[in-house]
Amino acid sequence: MITLNHYLLAGGLLFATGFAGVLLRRNILVIFMCLEMMLGAANLSLVAFSRFGANAAVPDYNAQVLVFFIITVAAAEVAVGLAIIVALYRLRQTTHVEDINLLKF
Amino acid sequence: MNPVLFWIFASLMLVFGAMVVLLRNPVGSALSLVVSFLCLAALFVGLDAFFIGIIQVLVYAGAVMVLFLFIIMLLDLKTEQRRKLNLPAFLGGLAVVAAFVALLVRLLSGFEPGTVAASALGQRVDDVRGVGFALFNDFNLPLQVVGALVLVATVGVVVLSKHRLK
């Protein structure tokens, strides 16, 4: 029997994987992909909560609307973020985050 | 959802998610992420969220990842050269992630889903109708705000992509 805990654990582990990628990888594109993975993990938790809500006969659609908004905002974020990465690459010819240290004191 | 299907898709999702982090070639990372997102969509379908599952496939696994691959090809990225590891930063990152996983396991072990868990529905799910109803009635203003956000993002991308800002 698959319970809410299983879904939350799967979502949490996916989030941890993305988190590890953001912290450990040095390629800005891979870091960005890992951010998307973290958003997907949050979506999995939300959908699981919507399904295993108090009224088990019908899923709670408010949570799914929130997931819809998250996906929309994430798509906009990807477009803007990739445009910034391309502009950065034009300027510095690198996607390695340790080469982009102008703001470092 | 059938437990066997859950375990298959959850483990595939986590394995390909780990491959995104582990592979050194960005193209491999992006393709692994596509598979991971497809398995995530399968989990959504198993949770009776058909609409969200389809959006996940169309928007994430389709549009967003094609955009990623397009940018990787455009920048002509090669496999990363192995650089000197920043050991304190690496160990610190690992420690933070380990602490996060430990916290997650501790939290979930004290969390009793009990009888809340529902078995797979036998009845029809009016999924799109429910989401659409909530979206256009209760969340009408947020929907329009998100529409404005997407417009702003489009304009922002065009401005960012111009070669020289006047």
ipTM for the complex shown: 0.91
| Stated length of chain B | 166
Backbone angles phi, psi at A96, to 5 degrees: -90, 125
Q: Are B29 and A30 inside 8 Å of each other by CB?
A: yes
3-state class (DSSP) for residue A84: helix
Q: For residue range B44-72, what is the model confidence (pLDDT) as tens digits?
A: 998 888 999 999 999 999 999 999 999 99
Residue of A74 and B166 predicted with greater confidence: A74
Q: Measured between alpha carbons, how far is A70 from A72 in angstroms, rounded to an integer?
A: 5
Q: What is the mean pLDDT of residues B90-98?
A: 92
pLDDT band at B118; cut points 50, 70, 90: low
**Best CA proximity match to A45, nearest among B164, B146, B111:** B111
Min distance A105 CA to chain B CA atoms (Å): 17
Average pLDDT value over all residues in chain B: 87
B148 Cα to chain A: minimum distance (Å): 11
The rounded distance, in Å, linking the Cα atoms of B33 and A16 is: 15
* CB contact (8 A) between residue B20 and residue A77: no
Ranges of residues in chain A with a pLDDT under 70 are 54-57, 104-105
| Gap between the Cα atoms of A104 and A98, Å rounded | 10
**pLDDT value at position A105?**
60
* B11 confidence band (pLDDT: 50, 70, 90): very high
Alpha carbon distance A50, A34 (integer Å):
25
C-beta of residue A24 within 8 angstroms of C-beta of residue A66: no
Query: What's the confidence (pLDDT) of residue B115?
Result: 47
Considering only CB atoms, A89 lies closest to which of B75, B101, B104, namely B75
What per-residue confidence (pLDDT) applies to B121?
A: 56
Q: What is the CATH number of domain B1-79?
A: 1.20.120.1200
Domain borders along chain B are 1-79, 126-166
Q: Label residues B120-143 b or e (16+ Cβ within 10 Å = b).
A: eeeeeeebeebbeebbeeebeeee
Question: What digits encode the pLDDT tens for the residues B122-137?
Answer: 666 788 898 999 999 9
List the single best residue of B15, B43, B86 to mutate versus A (max A Cβ within 10 A): B43
In order, the DSSP letters of chain B are --HHHHHHHHHHHHHHHHHHHH-SSHHHHHHHHHHHHHHHHHHHHHTT-HHHHHHIIIIIIIIIHHHHHHHHHHHTPPPPPP----HHHHHHHHHHHHHHHHHHHHHHHT---GGG--PPP-S---HHHHHHHHHHHTTHHHHHHHHHHHHHHHHHHHHHHSSS--
User: Which of B101, B113, B133 is nearest residue A16 as measured by Cβ atoms?
Assistant: B101
Domains parsed from chain A with CATH numbers: 4-99 (1.10.287.3510)
Output the pLDDT for position A52: 81
- At A15 the pLDDT is 96
